[in-house]
Amino acid sequence: MKPILEKIEPVFGSSFTLRAFHESQDCNRPSWHFHPEYEIVYISNGRGKRHIGDHISYFEEGDLIFLGPNLPHFGFTEEVFEEHVEIVVQMKEDFLGEEFLRKPELQGVARLFQRSRQGLSFGGGLKHDVGQRLRRMLDMGNFDRLLALLSILQDMATTSDYEMLNASGFAVEVNAQDQDRMQIIYNYVQGNFQDEVTLDRAAQLVSMTVPAFCRYFKKLTRKTFSQFVNEFRIAHACRLLGDEAQTIASVSLDSGFNNLSHFNRQFKQITGSSPREYRKSLKKVVF
């Protein structure tokens, strides 16, 4: 998919950008986009989807994400239907000077920046603690806002309560070519994953033969097209399993699987647990 280069300019008097969006506004861009800035995204509540590079998963009860530069991603709130606030911080690696991350006091933050190149999601108390601090930053002057950001980065650097999203190797260059085909492919899967998705149709949409398309897709995403479709469907199923009123068989059908046994096998293979085990694990989470 062709990620759109998003140009980000800090406001006058600030070395980074800080923006807040409400559900009634156009939050994080729904388009497939990227930018050279590091990005912190806080979503106050609600369930939604993460699609970062070749990584697809769902979050529950809001999220706190830290992304490295040039990681293509979709907006994180397009499927969040609950009332929510989204706060976004974007900064260049050298936003405080070329020697910034080489200072001995900031070695933990330097390692955080390095880990973020694979995409990070934070949980537990830190997630909402940082969210509250980001909210307060909106009303601060530029100097206090900078100090608050440094404090947040330090806490993100020292916590053990985070998940590596493993989206590494998918960062793109600004002059990336032939990514427009992937935008077409993604739109096709997104619009049809609950029904029939075929190799023939995907290849036809990008004017390629099936063998050429398979080689192209595997080279770009490091997985087969069928793996990508199944992961997309299982990510959707993970969200549906949060609704206890919906049976596992119904979740299977709503996620594009016509065979329950096949759904169970794919779910176990991709998530490491059965749909029933995954549903039980959701009940154990205390927010």
With cut-offs at 50, 70 and 90, classify the pLDDT of residue 14. confident
Reduced to 3 states (helix: H, G, I; strand: E, B; else coil), residue 114 is: helix
Residue 275 in domain: yes
Shared domain check, 104 and 131: yes
Residue 175 in domain: no
Which single residue is written with the structure tokens 């899967």? Answer: 189
Task: Pick 168 or 14 by higher pLDDT.
Answer: 14
Model pLDDT for residues 118-139, shown as the tens digit of each residue: 899 998 789 999 999 999 999 9
Shared domain check, 119 and 70: yes
225-240 and 260-271 are packed helices; what angle lies between their axes, rounded to 10 degrees? Answer: 90
Model pLDDT for residues 158-211, shown as the tens digit of each residue: 999 999 887 655 555 433 445 677 778 878 988 899 999 999 999 999 999 999
Q: Is the pLDDT of residue 244 over 90?
A: no
Question: Which range marks the domain in which residue 233 is found?
Answer: 180-284
Residue 171 in domain: no
Residue 173 in domain: no
Shared domain check, 264 and 220: yes
How many whole angstroms separate alpha carbon 58 and alpha carbon 78? 12
Shared domain check, 191 and 60: no
Residue 267 in domain: yes
How many whole angstroms separate alpha carbon 228 and alpha carbon 214? 12
What are the CB-based long-range contacts (under 8 Å, 24+) for 3-8?
3/32, 3/33, 3/34, 3/72, 3/172, 3/176, 3/179, 4/29, 4/31, 4/32, 4/33, 4/34, 5/33, 5/34, 5/35, 5/174, 6/33, 6/34, 6/35, 7/35, 8/35, 8/37, 8/90
How many whole angstroms separate alpha carbon 202 and alpha carbon 191? 12
CA nearest neighbour of 125 among 49, 211, 61, 220: 61
Sort strands 38-43 and 4-5 into parallel, antiparallel or unpaired: unpaired
Q: What is the CATH number of the domain that holds 50?
A: 2.60.120.10
Type and span of the H or E element at 222: none
Shared domain check, 200 and 155: no
Shared domain check, 125 and 95: yes
Q: Give the mean pLDDT of 247-257.
A: 95
User: Residue 242: what pLDDT?
Assistant: 77
